[in-house]
Amino acid sequence: MKFSLCSIKCCVLFIVCWILLKPNFGLAQREIKPCQQEPAFIRTLGYDPLWTALSTSEKTYIGISLIAFEKKLGQNSPTAQTPKMEIYQHPSWKSAGYLSTISFDRIGNVYTVPAPLISMLYNQTEKLNTIYKIDASNGEMSEWINLPFASKPSSQNPYGLLGINYDCQDHYLVASTVAGSDRYNERGVIYLINPVNKKTTDSIKNFDAMGVGFAFDELRKKRLYYGSVRTGNIFSVVVNSKGKMDKKTIRKELSLEGYGPRGDDKARKIKFNGNQLLVSGTAFNYNLQAASEKPETLYTFIWLAKEKKWGLINYN
């Protein structure tokens, strides 16, 4: 009897879950379960991965550095206020000059892209389209892939790669570059790369994007979300398990224009938390103004199934 009741409860629960998750019932777009692993070298170095973070924005440190935080009783992980205890840098971590976005894969390799900070002094122009990889086991950073330049870099655009992210569903890396673009020519490319053989499986050309991320849409199809650095618009496209984009499915998801304290933010980072779309917005004008002058706003959107559009529920 007890077993039977439990079975009935389980069945009911299953049906409820099925109803909630079945896409045709107008459900939300939602995140892909994270798969990223901590790099093994953190433990090898004697640090607790839970109390460390990799950073590319430490004052006086060029490149990437590992921050070890002071452990606090009663806390499981550091917060923004947790004091830093130590900063570690592997000798290879500053070889590429200043870096920006970081992404991890499922075995703990770290991928990062270069971005000049304030001046071009420490970044080589010819390396602006190079993705760097820190090996999960030994912590050594090296050039991973050199992506082609759509046009010769010029003084009108000091940037190349801007965004990078990892697809935890089918294990592809996405990277966006604006190298070679200028005011009147949008020459950016979004690449989907197979990290096993470093081959590009597909790309979107002539589009300047910064924030890139993956999630399931309301039909449970995996989409790549990418934010324009020219308009504040965020688009998406269905990507299959072979790393091919179905370009016919490209659609505009939302625009940041007019939102937030500035009104002209561009999507620097795109990620999902459950069924919420989180967008870090900041100003971007293809110049070298210091990041400290570019306050960032986190916009939280929720999918309005009936209206089939995103609704802003919060920004701060």
Partner 1 sequence: MLLSMFCTDAIAQQKKAALKKTTAKKPTAVYLNEYRAGLMSSSKADTNWFIIERKKEIEQILKDSLPVKWYKEKGGEKALLAQKIALANPFFTRYLFDLKTGKPLWNEIFGVYPARPGDIKKGITSLPGALMRVEMYNYANNLTTIGIVDVFSMKLVSADHYPDTQPDIPQSLIQLAEQIAINAPEVEKALGFKPNAQKPIMSSTKTALNRTKCERSQHLCVAPTFVQGNRALWAIVDLTDNRLVGLRWTNTGADAAVVTERKMQNETVADCYCEKVNSISKNGWNMDYLLTASDGLQISNVTFNNKRVLNSAKLVDWHVSYSGTDGFGYSDAVGCPIYSQAAVVATDPPKIAEIVEGDSVVGFMLEQKFFSELWPGPCNYSYSQRYFFYKDGRFRITCASIGRGCGNNGTYRPVFRISFAGNEQNFYEYEQAGWKQWTKENWQLQKPSTLYDSSGFQYKISLDKVNSYFLEPGKGQFNDGGKGDNAYLYLTKNHLNKDEGETDLVTIGPCCNTNHEQGPEKFINAVPESTINTDLVLWYVPQMKNDDRPGSKYCWAETYYENGVYKIKAYPCFAGPMFVPQK
List contacts with partner 1 (CB under 8 A): 59-60, 118-121, 125, 155-158, 182-185, 257-258, 261-264, 283, 285-290, 292-294
**Residue nearer to partner 1 on the CB measure, 139 or 158:** 158
Token pair of 187, please?
Answer: 């020459």
The one-letter amino acid code at 279 reads V
Q: How far apart are the C-alpha atoms of 258 and 174, rounded to whole Å?
A: 28
**Residue nearer to partner 1 on the CB measure, 78 or 232:** 232
Contacts of 133 (CB under 8 A, 6+ apart): 109, 110, 111, 112, 141, 142, 143, 144
**Residue nearer to partner 1 on the CB measure, 121 or 219:** 121
Q: Name the minimum Å distance from CB 154 to partner 1.
A: 8
Backbone angles phi, psi at 116, to 5 degrees: -60, 145
CA atoms within 13 A on the CB side of 10: 6
Q: Name the minimum Å distance from CB 290 to partner 1.
A: 6
Q: Name the minimum Å distance from CB 180 to partner 1.
A: 12
Q: Name the minimum Å distance from CB 60 to partner 1.
A: 6
**Residue nearer to partner 1 on the CB measure, 43 or 205:** 205
Tell me if 145 sits within 8 A of 198, measured CB to CB. Answer: yes
Tell me if 286 sits within 8 A of 157, measured CB to CB. Answer: yes
Helices (DSSP H) in the chain: which residue ranges? 2-21, 40-44
**Residue nearer to partner 1 on the CB measure, 88 or 286:** 286
Q: Name the minimum Å distance from CB 46 to partner 1.
A: 28
